Structure 1
Amino acid sequence: MNVQEKSVKAPVEVPYPMQSRQDLIVAAELEEELGTLRHDYGSVVPALMPFGEGKCWIAIGYEEVRQVMSDERFVVWKHRGNNYPRLRFNEGNRPPFRMAFDKMDGPEQIARRRVLAKHLSARRVMGMREETRNKIENFLDGFIAHGQGADMMKKFVEHVPLAVISDLLGVPADETDIFLEAALDHMNGRITSEEQANAHINKVNAYFDHLVARRHEEPGDDLISALLNDVGGTWDDEELGGVGFVLLTAGHDSTASIIGGILFWLAHDPERFAYLKHNREVLPRAIEEFLRVVPAGTGTRVRIATEDVEIGGVVVKKDDGIHPVVHPANFDETVFENPDELNFAREGETHLRFGFGSHACPGNQLARMEIREVLDAVLNRFATFEAVNPSENWRGEMLMRGPKELKVNWTLEGDEN
């Protein structure tokens, strides 16, 4: 594969001002800037974060992002409760957030992830496939009933991950409204004050405290009950509530953003839609390529160096923060040939959409299953599937954190004539 040689660049002296408010920024502009930084200055660049104090760096090269995510000298737990540099006002590292597996390192984190992985195994995920398929078909029925030009994000996409993750956690469908707005405000960066942040977090915490207490008395066939009864687990009730918070916020919003982004692409690219419809064997590889290209956000969790670490031609000093930013790493031209091209035949290194190392997303198999089932359903149901207002700059619009809306027209399979 012909990829560009990586060269050592002169260190950047002026920190790069990172953006926040992920729901508002146009990620295409940010990613272009980050790509320019990598090209001109290297893969690790000093950064000025909108919140927090202290020296910080951003890793934007593929190998450097992998190193930050897998090197035990970069930790996530050390900054809990401190004012370390970060993208969001409150990004999950300060109270009233509960201590959960995603905020741990070392043996403590590994032990909990091992138990969690057992209950999020490929076997369990495949056991959810039929019920997920039925839900998707029902949601599609509802979407089609709204008629041509309906918004697929509001009427279909956003319902699927919420229903799946709620089933997994044992959240009754009629209770999701209790906490959903608070969880989405947190994930989408719509928090503007400490009071608002704490109120939202406490609302979600209170719900999962109540759910865990119920599962003590009334265990079910859900993840919270399974973790409560797992003899290998070391979870206390607060941590179980934290598990619920993490999986809900990450499992719903991020997955919806990715699914929406993929459908947005296909609605603007009828040739790709037709190709996948008639070449279904390509779907597994196509999904991985979509995961590389379609953004799920520009945010990331800061890691703290526990000692001086040389990375990407610079030295990150002890107690410095460093943010591994996945999306530009997935477009690193030294790793991916023609990275801006969507190539279903691409081979070689895999994307970093679900992270890497001990903090990789534990629900990645669940997300992949949902994406596959949604695509199969849409490809089966529709003979044609096109955006209402296709535009020349749709690829730029794609690089937002999931489309805000996706209005489409379609022809149902069998109704072409």
Structure 2
Amino acid sequence: MTTTTYPVPYPMQSRQDLIVAGALETELETLRHEYGPVVPAVMPFGEGRAWIAIGYAEVQQVMSDDRFVVWKHRGNNYPRLRHSEGHKPPFRMAFDKMDGPEQIARRRVLARHLSVRRVMSMRDESRAKIERFLDNFIAMGQGADLMTQFVEHVPLSVIADLLGVPEDETDVFLEAALDHMNGRITSEEQANAHITKVNEYFDRLVARRRAEPGDDLISALLGDLEGGIWDDEELGGVGFVLLTAGHDSTASIIGGILYWLAHDPERFQYLKNNRDVLPRAIEEFLRVVPAGTGTRVRIATEDVEIGGVVVKKDDGIHPVVHPANFDERVFTNPRELDFDREDAPHLRFGFGPHACPGNQLARMEIREVLGAVLDRFATLEAAQPAEDWREQMLMRGPKALKVNWTLEEPRS
């Protein structure tokens, strides 16, 4: 590896919804080749020295080494991607901002309620909703926008069901939650107003579910209060975390997969005719299709050697998942979409104690959406195919995907 000293640290971007991952990937791949798998960086908010981990093993280390923490030892102005990331009120303490035994205990309870069995019990109802959303989309006619008129509805509906949020109430807080998730917040006042709006909604929802429990996650977690695991404030924090992470990232991934298939008719037909390949194909799409620039910034609690550099105590380090999933040291021909790949597992849902607890829910949604689309459409093609679609699909998630189609003939 040729090593060079960069004159300035790499400037990380905050506006995830505007990042074109094709360009970002090229830059970070160059950095990995010329500098190394851990690179000095400037975060858009906060003060202090920061790094980005862009190698597969290094991202795994940041996510699993207990010397890198997500919450403790942070000041109010640590280097970070978002203007407000839980460093002071009104942002609630929640499991994703804890470390050690506290975090493990809460994740264990949450994992029980997000088990494969629980997720599978939601499959039939989720598929029925997906079919209704597809009916509405098809009724709009050729050239309709698959992203805004179909894809974005699915994760919101599923996560609302899981949390016990009536669908007609989601507009109360959705814009505020997504502004925060996508880095659109530009002032502390805006951040506080948005977070307070979401907090207040989930406070009301927790109170309602305490009075009238239902078959939903909030009601189930209320039953764990007696064990001392959760308090009311944390329950509101759970709602916020699962809403933002469970809706926006899943919609981006589904949109990216359908963007690929709408521009690649041969792949679409291959999956239609080889359904047994679908589980492997989904995992490969999860490796290739981005859902953001990475995960929460960690802070080093002591000097840590990683990737050939020493991250000093109190430095921030940001594990960037997407380039790690293209690390040629780990993946053979990493830029190739290979449904038969047997390389290392992707890091799309993180790694270690802070791995996404809702990964089985996301997989179920992706599987049911793709199954429904492959069943209903004989063909599906982008209405305005782009010559550089492979670069375009490497965006965080298409904002629009206008398609034309032919439907499968009804079975007699």
Task: Identify the TM-score tier after normalising by the shorter chain.
Answer: over 0.9
Alignment check: 8 A CA contact 1:149 1:409 kept: yes
Partner in structure 2 of residue 142 of structure 1: 136
Write the distance in 1 (CA, Å) between the matches of 2:387 and 2:330. 28
Write the distance in 1 (CA, Å) between the matches of 2:247 and 2:268. 25
Partner in structure 2 of residue 47 of structure 1: 41
Alignment check: 8 A CA contact 2:143 2:383 kept: yes
Deviations 1:222-273 (A, max 9, x none): 0011011135451000000000000000000000000000000000000000
Pick the aligned partner of 1:152 from 136, 146, 150: 146
Deviations 1:1-31 (A, max 9, x none): xxxxxx5845656311111211123222112
Which secondary structure state, in structure 2, belongs to the residue aligned with residue 377 of structure 1?
Answer: helix
Partner in structure 1 of residue 289 of structure 2: 294
Residue type of the alignment partner of 1:23: D
Alignment check: 8 A CA contact 2:15 2:184 kept: yes
Which secondary structure state, in structure 2, belongs to the residue aligned with residue 402 of structure 1?
Answer: coil
**In the alignment, does 2:346 pair up with 1:346?**
no
Pick the aligned partner of 1:193 from 187, 190, 201: 187
Moved over 4 A (4+): 10-13
Alignment check: 8 A CA contact 1:10 1:42 kept: no
Partner in structure 2 of residue 272 of structure 1: 267
Q: For residues 389-400 of structure 1, what are the structure 2 equivalents within 5 Å?
A: 389-400=384-395
Pick the aligned partner of 2:352 from 357, 365, 373: 357
Deviations 1:16-50 (A, max 9, x none): 11112111232221121111100111000110111
Pick the aligned partner of 1:108 from 102, 110, 115: 102
Partner in structure 2 of residue 19 of structure 1: 13
Partner in structure 1 of residue 176 of structure 2: 182
**In the alignment, does 2:348 pair up with 1:366?**
no
Deviations 1:202-227 (A, max 9, x none): 10000001001111111111001101
Alignment check: 8 A CA contact 2:48 2:315 kept: yes
Deviations 1:150-175 (A, max 9, x none): 00111100000000000000001111
Alignment check: 8 A CA contact 2:2 2:33 kept: no
Q: For residues 391-410 of structure 1, what are the structure 2 equivalents within 5 Å?
A: 391-410=386-405
Write the distance in 1 (CA, Å) between the matches of 2:243 and 2:274. 34
Which secondary structure state, in structure 2, belongs to the residue aligned with residue 410 of structure 1?
Answer: strand
Partner in structure 2 of residue 214 of structure 1: 208
Please, what is the CA RMSD of the aligned residues?
1.4
Partner in structure 2 of residue 83 of structure 1: 77
Stretches of structure 1 lacking an aligned partner (at least 5 in a row): 1-6
Residue type of the alignment partner of 1:390: P
Write the distance in 1 (CA, Å) between the matches of 2:213 and 2:230. 16
Alignment check: 8 A CA contact 1:97 1:201 kept: yes
Alignment check: 8 A CA contact 1:22 1:299 kept: no
Which secondary structure state, in structure 2, belongs to the residue aligned with residue 87 of structure 1?
Answer: coil
Q: Specify whether residues 93 and 291 from structure 1 end up closer, same or farther in structure 2 by C-alpha distance, changes over 3 A only.
A: farther
Stretches of structure 2 lacking an aligned partner (at least 5 in a row): none
Write the distance in 2 (CA, Å) between the matches of 1:186 and 1:81. 20
C-alpha displacement of 1:333: 0.6
Deviations 1:325-367 (A, max 9, x none): 0000000010001111000000021000000000000000000
Deviations 1:301-331 (A, max 9, x none): 1101111110000011111110000000000
**In the alignment, does 2:293 pair up with 1:330?**
no
Deviations 1:354-398 (A, max 9, x none): 000000000000000000000000000000000001111001111
Residue type of the alignment partner of 1:306: T
C-alpha displacement of 1:79: 5.3
Write the distance in 2 (CA, Å) between the matches of 1:233 and 1:134. 37
Q: Specify whether residues 376 and 233 from structure 1 end up closer, same or farther in structure 2 by C-alpha distance, changes over 3 A only.
A: farther
Write the distance in 2 (CA, Å) between the matches of 1:318 and 1:406. 45
Residue type of the alignment partner of 1:107: P
Give the TM-score normalised by the residue count of structure 1: 0.96
Partner in structure 2 of residue 4 of structure 1: none
Q: Specify whether residues 219 and 157 from structure 1 end up closer, same or farther in structure 2 by C-alpha distance, changes over 3 A only.
A: same
Write the distance in 1 (CA, Å) between the matches of 2:73 and 2:378. 52
Aligned sequence identity (%):
82
Write the distance in 1 (CA, Å) between the matches of 2:198 and 2:70. 22
Pick the aligned partner of 1:161 from 155, 160, 163: 155
Write the distance in 2 (CA, Å) between the matches of 1:19 and 1:174. 34
Alignment check: 8 A CA contact 2:92 2:234 kept: yes
Partner in structure 2 of residue 411 of structure 1: 406
Which secondary structure state, in structure 2, belongs to the residue aligned with residue 301 of structure 1?
Answer: coil
Partner in structure 2 of residue 223 of structure 1: 217
Write the distance in 2 (CA, Å) between the matches of 1:165 and 1:345. 31
